[in-house]
Homo-oligomer: A and B are copies of this chain.
Amino acid sequence: MDAKREVNWNSWAIALHGGAGAISREMPAEREQACRHALKTALEAGRSQLSQGASALDVVEAVATLLEEDPLFNAGHGAVFTSKGTHELESSIMDGCTLQCGAASNLMTVRNPIQLARLVMECTPHILLSGSGAEEFADEMNVERVDNDWFDTPHRRHEYERFRDRQPLEQEGSTIGVVARDVEGRLAAATSTGGMTGKLPGRIGDTPLPGAGTWADGRCAVSCTGQGEEFIRHAVGHEVSSGMRWGLLPLYESVEQAVASLPPAAGGVIAVGEDGPPVAIFSSKGMYRGLADAAGLFEVSIWEN
């Protein structure tokens, strides 16, 4: 695993998402522009770090942190509300070289859940820490904590009020995720979310579950977004790898079959493999996403496939 790897400066690739779901094409032009700008800024940061030789693991953590900080996305500041009007955040990170992974769930006060996930991976014998135990661990690690209402935004409060008043609410997703291949060919994945508007307190979705919402091994790195429960019961993250290993499918086809195994409009998947371009495939109305690689690919999109 730790054998010296060859460096190929033309081999890096990255994909990121800001969620998949019922993203309306009628959203205000201003919001659409802000989303595209946020995706572009995060993608540029990833491109810059990877092209300078940063490790895939460091890049997925750094870019996920940027997206968590952006109030547009449902992760960190900007997280959705639970049925009780609170925020409960979750995250995971996985290193494809070692299969090491870390995750956190039911966080109410940790500003950057993805950073806590990495600390769980590196500083505990465990993979997933939840709730107050996770927050005590955050204190020990001197991770920044905030009040729960620090995560509030007017947009998410409006969605919560629609939920509470039983008005129709299409979940537009907005979970964030990043997958990367670095110049040494290492793969890593990170995912972070506030879950779904109106979820029961205590609900854990696919995001902090390795094999469901996040996966990385020597073959592929995967981050999922959409109806979390469907991604759990189809083990989508691990299924992408299984299709490649057992079925000898190329990355694109393996992601395609994994998304096709889900109910219609369930969401989307981003992935990178050992070589070739990054992949983003979704069955929902849209997926906020960005793809870039050393061959010159650099694109940000929301709807069109």
Contact = CB atoms under 8 A, between A and B. Distances in A.
A10 interface: no
A128 interface: yes
A200 B232 contact: no
A136 B201 CA distance: 9
Contacts of A99: 233-234
Contacts of A125: 229
Interface string A110-129: 00000000000000111111
A137 B211 contact: no
Nearest to A83: B133
Given A125-B229, A127-B229, A211-B232, A134 B202 contact: yes
B232 A137 contact: no
Given A105-B204, A211-B235, 14 more contacts: A101-B232, A105-B130, A126-B203, A127-B232, A127-B233, A128-B209, A130-B130, A133-B201, A209-B211, A210-B235, A211-B211, A235-B235, A242-B242, A243-B246
A103 to B, nearest CB: 8
Contacts of A215: 235
Interface string A228-267: 0100111100110011011100000000000000000000
A128 B200 CA distance: 10
A131 interface: yes
A124 B200 contact: yes
Contacts of A211: 209, 211-212, 232, 235, 238
A153 interface: no
A199 interface: yes
B131 A202 contact: yes
Interface magnitude class on chain A: 35 or more
A210 B204 CA distance: 12
Count of identical protomers in the assembly: 2
A8 interface: no
Given A131-B106, A246-B246, A210 B232 contact: yes
Contact of A238 (B130, B199, B239): B239
A208 to B, nearest CB: 9
Nearest to A134: B202
B128 A232 contact: yes
A28 B235 CA distance: 42
Nearest to A244: B246
A233 B98 CA distance: 9
A100 interface: yes
B133 A200 contact: yes
Contacts of A129: 200, 202-204
Nearest to A211: B235
15 contacts: A94-B233, A99-B233, A105-B130, A106-B133, A124-B200, A129-B203, A129-B204, A130-B131, A130-B203, A132-B201, A133-B202, A137-B202, A209-B209, A209-B212, A211-B232
